[in-house]
Chains A and B, each alone.
Chain A
Amino acid sequence: DQQVKQNSPSLSVQEGRISILNCDYTNSMFDYFLWYKKYPAEGPTFLISISSIKDKNEDGRFTVFLNKSAKHLSLHIVPSQPGDSAVYFCAALTTSGTYKYIFGTGTRLKVLA
């Protein structure tokens, strides 16, 4: 049973436009969420996080939004750049539980020059 879902396997966006990557979760006990970015043949690197006490967190071009009632989070990249082309994974954690994150299946973003 997939507790964290990324329903779009791929997304193409024109350079300079906004990229929106979506993530849905089913477990209401999740209270900490992260986004990771992964290039081919490399390990994932941390991008941005958000705690359930917030509904938005911003870091430069990256903003994560959390809608707890809908059990939905999204990552906005503005403006998108060709170097943003990668696979993006969302991950969720219950901070009162173990340290193991549950990952989504990933969305491959392609930013077209």
Chain B
Amino acid sequence: DVKVTQSSRYLVKRTGEKVFLECVQDMDHENMFWYRQDPGLGLRLIYFSYDVKMKEKGDIPEGYSVSREKKERFSLILESASTNQTSMYLCASTRGQGYGYTFGSGTRLTVV
């Protein structure tokens, strides 16, 4: 069964900490995405990547960065966590156009 795995289901971090959210897919997909989900705002795209070492900003990249050193792994980095980054973070991958996303289970991050 194909999978997108996010390393943590729940995280609690302090304001100002550097936070790493890891995502691994086993489908050999080139395209990977990071979204955050907030009530009333739906899923908003933070960053995406079409290939190794390639990244593009999504709609809300401020305060985040990403790393894609290997095809299967796409990491989201919060450089200095703030309380307004408390959210559900969802990683997804896709084979390409016309195919839907496969999502991970999500990471519920709380910044205190």
Residues of A within 8 A of B (CB): 6, 9, 32, 34, 36, 38, 41-46, 49, 51, 89, 91, 93, 95, 98-101, 103-106
A99 and B4 in contact, given A41-B106, A44-B90, A105-B41 (Cβ under 8 angstroms): no
Q: How far is the CB of B67 from chain A (nearest CB, A)?
A: 19
Interface size class of B (residues with CB under 8 A): 20 to 34
Q: Please tell me if B18 contacts chain A, counting CB pairs below 8 Å.
A: no
Given A32-B98, A43-B106, A103-B44, 18 additional A-B pairs, CB 8 A: A34-B100, A36-B100, A41-B9, A41-B108, A43-B103, A44-B43, A91-B43, A95-B97, A99-B48, A99-B96, A99-B97, A100-B45, A100-B58, A101-B100, A101-B101, A103-B42, A103-B43, A105-B40
A42 and B48 in contact, given A104-B42, A105-B42 (Cβ under 8 angstroms): no
> Are A42 and B94 touching (Cβ within 8 A)?
no
> Are A99 and B50 touching (Cβ within 8 A)?
yes
Q: Please tell me if B105 contacts chain A, counting CB pairs below 8 Å.
A: yes
Residues of B within 8 A of A (CB): 4, 6, 9, 31, 33, 35, 37, 40-45, 48, 50, 58, 90, 92, 94, 96-98, 100-106, 108
A40 to B42, CA, bound (A): 13
18 residue pairs of the A-B complex, CB under 8 angstroms, read: A32-B97, A36-B100, A41-B105, A43-B4, A43-B6, A43-B90, A43-B103, A43-B105, A44-B101, A44-B103, A46-B100, A51-B98, A91-B100, A99-B31, A99-B96, A100-B58, A101-B100, A105-B41
Q: How far is the CB of B103 from chain A (nearest CB, A)?
A: 3
Looking at A38, A91, A99, A104, the one whose CB has the most chain B CB atoms below 10 A away is: A99
